[in-house]
Amino acid sequence: MRLSAMILPIHRWSEGQKIWRRAEELGFHAAYTCDHLSWQSFRDGPWFGAVPTLTAAACATERMRLGTLVTSPNFRHPVTLAKDLIALDDVSGGRVTLGIGAGGIGFDATALGQQAWSPKERADRFGEFLPLLDELLTNDATTREGTYYSAVEARNIPGCLQTPRVPFYVAATGPRGFRLTAEYGQGWVTYGDPKGPAAMPADQAPAVIARQIDQLTAACEATGRDVATLEKLLLHGSTQEKPLQSLDAFVDWAGAHREAGITELVLHWPIPDSVFAADLAVFERIAAEGLAQLG
């Protein structure tokens, strides 16, 4: 099992770079950031772009993987996103992972002036977005006409440093998402129960993950894919579980989710006076000792 961090892009880089460097010093496998225009309770405060933030983080670190959790079609287009990813992969020396999903409602869904898409339209759009992005990142030139997304002689030379392209970690909780994960993903992302933290007691949360992995397994079997070839990532913060209360609480939480089938856990870097408030000293001790305590 691996342990990673989520670092929200809320700090000016003079301060933010210290957090990204500290994450590497603590030995996190990866550090991710949200790919939003703004987000939830942070909407009226500082919020910086994901790709520039990750590019700066790539220059401030050497070993740790970097990525988004998650990018979506809400305000992205595959052609321009592919160009950004190729550049970011190059700057980072091949350390980029793209977390990507269908998106949802909220500020990002209407910031460009469009009406919020229905769940079906989000799924339809994602069903075009992901295959086109895959094609763009694995070919020198791409032409494809779609209902929602098209490319005309879109050039992507020299391509990614990673081969055949940057890894896709696909956020999915439904049948269409699981099929796309099985076909295009190198990893799968879950936040827990999609109904939200109020819907599921903390002690039942790992069982939700186990059932999701069963669905993912079925989707992989339908495409001839071995589910064991997929990384399975859980981002904490959307359930009632409290793994940052203490080292023991983390060990119990991590052990339960390892048993459920998760291979990578992502913890939110503590942010005072927010939903992600936590004791930084406890957080750093978990980073340094937590996985070793699992045995």
* Distance separating alpha carbons of residues 182 and 140, to the nearest angstrom: 25
Q: How far apart (Å, rounded) are the C-alpha atoms in residues 279 and 205?
A: 23
Dihedral over Cα of 155, 158, 163, 169: its sign:
negative
Question: Residues 63, 56, 185, 269: is their CA dihedral positive or negative?
Answer: positive
Q: Would you kindly state where each structural domain of the chain is located, as residue ranges? A: 2-294
SS3 track for 62-76: CCCEEEEEEECCCCC
CA 48 to CA 215: how far, in whole Å?
35
Q: Give the residue from 188, 178, 98 showing the smallest Cα distance to 136.
A: 98
User: N- to C-terminal Cα distance for the chain?
Assistant: 11
pLDDT of 295: 74
**Which phi and psi (to 5°) does residue 268 adopt?**
-70, 130
- DSSP for residue 40: G
Residues of the chain with pLDDT under 50: none
CATH of domain 2-294: 3.20.20.30
Q: Shortest CA distance to 47 belongs to which of 126, 116, 108? A: 108
- Rounded Cα–Cα distance for residues 263 and 257 (Å): 8
What pLDDT does residue 197 have? 65
Full-model pTM: 0.96
pLDDT value, residue 105: 86
- Scored b (16 or more CB within 10 A) or e, 141-164 reads ebebeeebbbbeebebeebbbbee
